[in-house]
Amino acid sequence: MSAARPPLCLEPGSKSWPEELDSIQGRPERLWFAGRHELIERRPRIAIVGSRSPTPYGEAQARRFALALSESGACIVSGLARGVDHAAHRAALDAGGATIAVLGSGVDKPWPTGPLTDEMATRGLLVSEFLPGQGPRPHHFPLRNRVISGLCVGVVVIEAAHASGSLITARWAADQGRSVWALPGRVDHPMSRGSHRLIREGAGLVESPDEIVRELFGGEGQGQSTAAGPPPGLSSEAGRIAVLLQGETLTADDICERAGLELQPVLAALVELEVADCVVRAPGGFYRLSG
């Protein structure tokens, strides 16, 4: 493996040291960098992690999220492992974006080796708290995971088995006050188990990278749920009530009176309008048009 420049070593307090790590439990005493050192300045950083043996769905989603987040300007952080990590680094490089691999070995001994690793050492950035020359050791990986999450504003878990390294990263992230997003999947595949566990424990369910982009940059993205006019297929009662509510805030009883309808069909139509994002319920039993 040929790094373009000799490894750089930074300590807390030095210029370019990632200050996000100063607040985490077990702050690294120093970090080594190989590759494009300047990438450590790129923010926001988002981690994309997941299984070493993803399904084709998981691999495609890792690429999709890394590509879209890279294109929105985020730096993609992962662990250089096979599977989801690999797909995330690869997509970020392909998008011409910034990407960082945090290693469980010295930056001159990245693992696994291969074309992606060589490219990460020249077009991306390798980061490690372990001394140059150190090989990978099993207990390094859970420690390495706290640096992945610590560097980032949040962690996206794509696919993860029930008890796996990605869940360790997510746990560190939660402890460090970082966002945790998990991608759901089919319940009949074990690779969904870990993501679903995270969602039950409070992680954000994420369907699209736009949701993360909106959260980070406050932009609009191409999300699906921007409420427009009433969708087609509403019942005639719902249509009438939507017209009645223009510029008004009314109770169900008010609506019955104005529309000359009974309470039950009015309640049914209001639920229908709520589910279609046309109507919102305000405190005190009032209804108004949304948006």
User: Binding of a copy of itself at residue 48 (CB under 8 A)?
Assistant: no
User: Binding of a copy of itself at residue 275 (CB under 8 A)?
Assistant: yes
Which window, 42-50, 67-75, 241-249, 261-269, contacts a copy of itself (CB under 8 A)? 261-269
User: Binding of a copy of itself at residue 136 (CB under 8 A)?
Assistant: no
Strand partners, 98: none
Among 4, 9, 243, 263, binds a copy of itself (CB under 8 A): 263
Q: Which residue carries 């109507």 as its tokens?
A: 279
User: Binding of a copy of itself at residue 285 (CB under 8 A)?
Assistant: no
Which of residues 23 and 235 has its CB atom nearest to a copy of itself in the complex?
235
Q: Are 154 and 212 in contact (CB under 8 A)?
A: yes
Q: Which of residues 217-236 bind a copy of itself (CB under 8 A)?
A: 224-225, 231, 235-236
Give CA separation, 212 vs 41, 157, 205, 226, in Å: 20, 13, 11, 15
| CB 186 to a copy of itself: min, Å | 6
| CB 192 to a copy of itself: min, Å | 7
Rounded-to-integer distance, Cα 165 and Cα 244, Å: 55
Rounded-to-integer distance, Cα 100 and Cα 87, Å: 13
User: Binding of a copy of itself at residue 268 (CB under 8 A)?
Assistant: yes
Q: Which residues contact 95 (CB under 8 A, 6 or more apart)?
A: 66, 67, 70, 71
Structure tokens at 138: 């099993």
Q: Are 83 and 54 in contact (CB under 8 A)?
A: yes
Residues that bind a copy of itself (CB under 8 A): 25-26, 57, 60-61, 138-139, 142-143, 145-146, 162-164, 167-168, 171-172, 175, 183-188, 192-193, 196, 199-200, 204-208, 224-225, 231, 235-237, 263-265, 267-269, 271-272, 274-277
